[in-house]
Amino acid sequence: MTNEQKRNFLLYSAGRLVSLIGTGVQMIALPLYILDLTGSGTLMGTFALLSMLPGLIFSPIAGVLGDRRNRKKIMVNMDYLRGIIILFMAYSAYQGWMNIAFIFTAQVFISILDSVFGGSTNAMLPDLVPIEFLTKANSLNSSINGISNIIGPILGGIIYGFGGIKVVFLINGISFVISAISEMFITYVPHFEGKQKISFKSMFSDIKEGLVFIRGRKGLKELLLFALVVNFLMAPILTIVLPYVLRQEIGFTSEQYGITQSSFTVGILIGSILIGTIFSKSNPKKSMTLGLTVEAVMFFIISGLFFPNIVTKFGGASWTFLIILYINLMIIGVSNAFINIPIDTNMQKMTPTNVRSRVFTVLGLIAQGAVPVGMQIYGILLDLMKGYQIALFASIVSVIVIILFLKIAPEETFNPKPVSEEA
């Protein structure tokens, strides 16, 4: 890497770190504030929905913007806009204007701005670093996500506990402005000349172009289909089944449950560091195969730990049981990094920069869109079956899916040529 590329990547990473920590601070503090203000779990759930759904719906449009506008300017402007909105929320809280309707309205806008920010910054990374550094750059990026997911919630709880929601908004708003200022110094050449015209007709045409591109790339389709199925099967185990089993079936305290929530993120951080250092030059297929194998084994072990006789053997909601569970979840996080970083890198290599934002946002919409469906189905199943039965069934199906994927997927899925090398 040249000195300029190193400086650009450092500024890019610093901007993302500050933005993501700020988001994490607010995302932990606001639900607590809503609960303190209203005591309503339903309103907390509504806030969670508004934090995800608008951005998910808007993501295809965010992809078009990322391909038709300067990605650096989008990155900077989104941080400035989020900073301004959050600073206005701080002012409103100081003035006593804050209410639930105001918070929900602001969160809709923030969710959309988050989507636009992500659509451009995720596609921008391969333009900032040489292709041979891409795996290491993605591992560093994943480490930044992991660090922010650990630091953000911790800071959010501390700041809210000592200073209240006003201080949370103030610090968070300032952090976004600082992030935007640092990003302004990135040297970035847009992948197009002039300003691209955008209309409703061209927007839908551009989204269609992204879909057509995905449909025409077998390796990309295989990765998307695999991510969709695995997200549908396994993500709800961690987000729906695990909390239910720990709290309702085993009886973990809120403190014990809270400790388990950091395990997966810590694992991802460790895995990202390993990929970025020791395994940075490993064959992507070997890394993914290792990650998928270990993850499948760990999910089987966790399914076994949920069996009533095993829970009893470890003393129920004991600290011994928690430590064993924590280690297993952490290993799943490590293996997840070995899967996702090569997948992200391969997708970046398969996709030319002029359609990258559209392709990535469509991929994200389809892959993540399966998660809420899976959550709803698993939630229904928990009223009909025991948690360990659901986890065991999902683990068996996922193993079948993994074996089929590793055997059927073409070589370009694992070791694609960069698009610049293709005819």
pLDDT digits (tens, 9 = 90+) for 73-114: 998 999 999 999 999 999 999 998 888 889 989 989 998 998
pLDDT tens digits for range 167-199: 989 988 998 998 899 889 998 877 655 555 666
Shortest CA distance to 347 belongs to which of 121, 128, 134?
A: 134
pLDDT at 421: 42
Q: What is each CA distance from 93 to 69, 90, 111, 315, 405, in whole angstroms?
A: 35, 5, 20, 47, 51
Query: 211-416 belongs to which homologous superfamily?
Result: MFS general substrate transporter like domains (1.20.1250.20)
pLDDT at 45: 64
The Cα 80–Cα 74 span in angstroms is 10
pLDDT tens digits for range 276-316: 888 777 788 888 889 999 998 998 998 899 898 998 888 88
Evaluate whether 3-186 and 211-416 have a shared fold: yes
State which residues of the chain have pLDDT below 70: 40-42, 44-45, 48, 153, 191-203, 206, 254-255, 257-258, 261, 418-423
Q: What is each CA distance from 409 to 67, 229, 294, 366, 413, in whole angstroms?
A: 29, 14, 19, 19, 6
For the chain, the structural domain boundaries read 3-186, 211-416
pLDDT at 345: 82
pLDDT at 256: 73
CATH number of 3-186: 1.20.1250.20
The Cα 276–Cα 297 span in angstroms is 24
